[in-house]
Amino acid sequence: MNTLIADPPPGAPVPPILPPVDGFLFLDRDKFHASFAGDLPAAQAEFLADSQVPWSVDALGGTITEPAWRAKPSWYLVATEDRMIPPPAQRAMSERAGATVVEVVGSHAIYISHPEAVAALIKKAAAGG
């Protein structure tokens, strides 16, 4: 994860990750709607911001020695309005993995704003194609 946000492309939004507290991270509640869930109603984004689960600072530095995409087919849904992982970075990752790609206009919370698109891609992947 750290490699995704360490060197954002020029003009890319920077995720509003707050400084760690006791080794855990949160997104800034006041910036959550715009950065994470921009295509959701304000009340729903507020609920998501308030129900965040902290993640460990250590998770940012994790490394994978044998990524599954090297040996298995992969699929990727690019959320074109994502302000957490820039869409160009998503496209680069999906291209590197040789993934079947679908692009949908939506935020990082695409699984909530466009569940039908997410489900369709999962069904396609499960069917092998």
Instruction: For residue range 11-58, list pLDDT tens digits in order.
Output: 778 889 999 999 999 999 999 999 999 999 999 999 999 999 999 999
The pLDDT tens digits of the residues spanning 65-84 come to 899 999 999 999 999 999 99
For residue 36, give the amino acid letter. F
The phi and psi torsions of 89 (rounded to 5 degrees) equal -70, -40
Q: What are the residue boundaries of the structural domains of the chain, listed by start?
A: 7-126
Pick the CATH number of 7-126 from 3.90.550.10, 3.40.50.1820, 3.40.718.10, 3.40.190.10: 3.40.50.1820
Token output for 22:
């006791």
Tell me the pTM: 0.86
Number of neighbours of residue 51 by Cβ within 10 angstroms: 7
